[in-house]
Amino acid sequence: MGGKLLIFSPQKNDLYWVSLRSSVGRNNYSNQGYLFTEFINTFRLNNWLAFNISPKYFFSGVESFGGIGFSSYINLSENLMLIPEINTSIKNDSDLNSTLALRYSFSPEKSLDLYYSNAAGVQDIGQLLKVKDYRLGFRFNFLL
């Protein structure tokens, strides 16, 4: 379960926007609880380019660590966006992973991402972990 709080908004034409995303849950195997938080900072340079810096933190009773992600949003057309991203955890055996996504927006509230990544996942702690092989996937995005 999780949520996102938008503090400064691109819908208000702010050049800088901030959001805080957090999720809590339990591991199905060990029943261990966790908390994941992400502080998303985005800077818009112009109408077609924005940069994102996102410090992230994972906490559980077993392990806790932080990380950081860097990405950009490149508008290729009115409905098509290219999103390259790099994430790393801040620990002794830090893994650097990368994702390249192509986003098609059906409307401001609905979009579809096609991605190629070697991150364990495209959300929460999966963003900070690297897997051996790259994989191709897609994700639906809905704003409520």
At 64-92, the pLDDT tens digits run: 889 999 999 999 999 999 999 999 988 76
Q: Is 88 left (phi over 0), alpha (psi -120 to 50) or beta?
A: beta
Cα–Cα distance for residue pair 18/6, rounded to 1 Å: 6
Average pLDDT along the chain? 89
Decide the pairing of beta strands 49-60 and 110-119.
unpaired
Q: What is the pTM of this model?
A: 0.86
Name the residue among 73, 67, 81 with its Cα closest to residue 124.
67
Cα–Cα distance for residue pair 34/52, rounded to 1 Å: 25
Burial of 13 (0-12, 13-18, 19+ CB in 10 A): exposed
How many distinct structural domains can be found in the chain? 1
User: Quick check: 44 pLDDT over 70?
Assistant: yes
**Token code pair at residue 21:** 């995303």
Which residues form the domain of 19? 2-142
Return the CATH number at 84: 2.40.160
Burial of 75 (0-12, 13-18, 19+ CB in 10 A): middle
